[in-house]
Amino acid sequence: VRLPAAGLRPVPLSPTLAVNEAIARKRRAGTRVLPLGFGEAGVPIHPALVRELAAAADRGSYGPVAGSPALRAAAAGYWGRRGLPTDPGLVVAGPGSKPLLFALLMALGGDVAVPAPSWVSYAAQAALAGARPIGVPTPAGEGGVPAPAALAEAVRQARAQGREVRAVVLTLPDNPTGTLASAEAVRGVCEVARELDLVVVADEIYRDLVHDPDRTVPSPARYAPERTVVTTALSKSLAAGGWRLGVARLPEGPFGGALRDALLGIASEIWSSPPAPVQHAAAFAFAEPPELVAHVDRSRRLHAAVAGAVADRFAAAGALVRRPEAAFYVYPDLEPMRGRLFREHGVRTGADLTGLLLERYGVGVLPGSAFGDDPAALRMRVAPSLLYGEDDAQRLAALAHPD
Ligand code: PLP
């Protein structure tokens, strides 16, 4: 082939997918590997949801770009029950929240402030959209929400260099740290966003997996409704990442309408409409029938138990680690063990460490550097099998659907 290979855009595989592929290669070669890299719930998908998908398998036509009216109404109801009354006309569905976030960044058309650390794809997507990410150092345990002064300073500095900064992205609850910000912290960032005219992109994909059921997620859409976009998906709390279905809730008012139109234009040129059978199942899911609510609740409790136990083990071994407050991630910082890791294993970098864990111990995890953080930090996705052993975990997972 005489393609101008040198002219191809060098886009590396997203670290989460790259670790998945490395694990798959080892498995094909017959090695047992514990897959703790990719962010997935360790519970099965609920059979009632599977039935809904199967019942709609014959829906083969394209639908509206924004998603079906039934799905948009169900998603609006989902947010309404969480204190965010939502106009279904301002809901846009897409094939996963990842493509929706990318389309949003393209629509916003400027640079974007991202907490450091934060989810691997924000910075990479900003770069693909022709923008530059501005990392705002955000100490672990802050729930992924930077201090207002740190955000304001980073944005002002970038603007002083002539850059157009349009948005700040927050993950609530946070990935990779598994922590949840306070309402006060979110309000502070919203005030800065208003002062500096930034759009707030609130990725709330882990909202329903907060370990303490009495804690609520302080959505920026409460404090800055005129400028906040909220996204979520079926991927995490319903364990249906492979179905590829996400939804975005656009800001109220004229700006929200204009942003929706820009988003729909981009969506119409990329995915046309989300997959029709999955939209049908998603409308069922977002209506939150009691069996799915109970399923998410059991998943939440299982992950809380495993994440807490794994974090305690790391703390006992001398790592710096916070007890996760949501989702299924543990984010230990192995800084205090750096010397020993080098002496005993020749480990210098995060890549050395994750390579050692995969090659020698058959454990696939991600280095902090994938999230724009120190490489001595590791993000591990934890699953019930870690705490209970594979067989017990399967029995526990079966408990998740007594029907
Ligand atoms: N946002 C965060 C914070 C995530 O961790 C993930 C998945 O890893 C996504 C978005 C993407 O999810 P989806 O499957 O909806 O594209």
Of all protein residues, the one whose alpha carbon is nearest to atom 9 of ligand 1 is 98
pLDDT at 401: 47
pLDDT at 341: 86
Per CATH, the architecture of 63-287 is what?
A: 3-Layer(aba) Sandwich (3.40)
- Does the CB atom of residue 177 touch ligand 1 within 6 A? no
pLDDT at 376: 80
pLDDT at 85: 97
| Ligand 1 atom with least separation from CA of 206 | 3
Bond preceding residue 402 cis, omega within 30 of 0? no
Closest by Cα among 91, 64, 93, 96 to 80:
91
Whether residue 377 contacts residue 334, with contact meaning beta carbons closer than 8 Å, is answered with yes
- Does the CB atom of residue 203 touch ligand 1 within 6 A? yes
- Does the CB atom of residue 175 touch ligand 1 within 6 A? yes
pLDDT at 389: 60
Q: Report the predicted TM-score, pTM, of the whole model to 2 decimal places.
A: 0.92
Rg over CA atoms, the chain? 21
- Residue spans of the chain under pLDDT 50: 399-403
| Ligand 1 atom with least separation from CA of 118 | 3
Whether residue 143 contacts residue 172, with contact meaning beta carbons closer than 8 Å, is answered with yes
pLDDT at 396: 53
CATH 1.10.3470.10 assigned to 8-45+291-399? no
Q: Per-residue pLDDT tens for 256-278?
A: 999 999 999 999 999 999 999 99
pLDDT at 390: 60
Give the pair of three-digit tokens for residue 363. 């454990």
**Residue 294, φ and ψ in degrees, nearest 5:** -65, -35
Of all residues in the chain, what percent carry a pLDDT higher than 90?
Answer: 68
> Whole-angstrom Cα distance, residue 275 to residue 312?
41
pLDDT at 161: 96
CA 307 to ligand 1 centroid distance, Å: 19
Give the pair of three-digit tokens for residue 29. 């070669």
> Whole-angstrom Cα distance, residue 223 to residue 314?
36
**Domain ranges within the chain, ordered by starting residue:** 8-45+291-399, 63-287
Of all protein residues, the one whose alpha carbon is nearest to atom 8 of ligand 1 is 39
